[in-house]
Amino acid sequence: MNAINHNTKISWMVAMANLYGLKADVTNPLRGCTPLGKGCLNCWAADVAARRACQSNPKVQERYGGLTAKNLNGNSVFNGSSKVLKRDFKRISGKPRAWFHNSEGDTWFEQHYRNDIDELIGRAALRPNDIHVFLTKRFEEMSDYFVCLPDRIYEWDCHSILDSWDGKPLSNFLLGVSVWDQKSADAARPFMQKLAKLGWRVWVSYEPALDQVDWTGWEFLSWLVTGCHSATQPLPHERDWERAARDFCQANNIPFFDKQIIIKGKKIHIPKLDNITWDQVPEMSQKSLPENEQ
């Protein structure tokens, strides 16, 4: 079998796509963000946006221009601006893929308009044999969005999907939250648990891991991904934090993915933890519909 030429190097997306024989890809129609806590320190996405905004290519400038500023330490940060690139919605088409939506921002950033979020979710819902992965630090906004969706889907004007979906949980969606320490994990847990009780598959990105977390109460997870802080100026990290997460996952049959560590300034992707490579991904349910096989 020939190797798949993925459109992203994000290791956990590539691992999931490989398992299901799909191409891993990203979309970024909703651009812009603003920092939320320690987990946003030295944000790689803000750094990418700042660098690419300086390129001479006008299409690249359109994507990244005006989204970042420099903080007092001279680091690039998102400045609270937002923009929508409508053509990126249309990329969600063609052969089945494993999609990471808004990989360079936050779908539930407060400045994004609800109808634009609706269009992204609606286009994803129309593709039941793709895999759709979402990740946010705005867990309350994401939870409220999906909790209320069955009551407001009939108000959608982006396109008609009412014949195929009523806004209730889809088995090929993964709704994720980023946490980095005990405080952020405790704040997110009740909102993610609410989604899980409704039937949504939920996951956690414990990256950057900045302190140990007691994962008691997170038994509802479908996946847990860990990784150290890997920006230009990485923050301190202890390997026992991943061990605690791994042990919790093993005890509760939750797939565990250890993304990266930094040793002596060198980033190691999917490293061994206690002589074992932890690259587990969740089982996903996909339907096989002819309109997505073209």
Q: Is residue 1 part of a domain?
A: no
Q: Is residue 115 part of a domain?
A: yes
Query: Is the N-terminal amide bond of 208 cis, ω within 30° of 0?
Result: yes
Q: What is the mean pLDDT of each run of 10 residues along the chain (294 residues)?
A: 86 96 96 92 89 91 91 89 93 96 95 93 92 98 96 70 77 97 98 98 97 98 94 81 98 97 89 97 67 37
Task: Report the amino acid identity of residue 268.
Answer: I
Q: Is residue 30 part of a domain?
A: yes
Nearest residue to 206 (alpha-carbon basis) of 265, 257, 281: 257
At residue 234, the pLDDT reads 76
Domain count, the chain: 1
pTM for the model: 0.93
Q: Is residue 222 part of a domain?
A: yes
Per-residue DSSP letters for 155-208?
G--S---TTT--S---TTEEEEEE--SHHHHHHHHHHHHHHHHHT-EEEEEE-S
Q: Is residue 3 part of a domain?
A: no
Q: Is residue 91 part of a domain?
A: yes
Q: Range of 218's domain?
A: 11-292
At residue 26, the pLDDT reads 96
**Which tokens is 18 given?**
């490989």
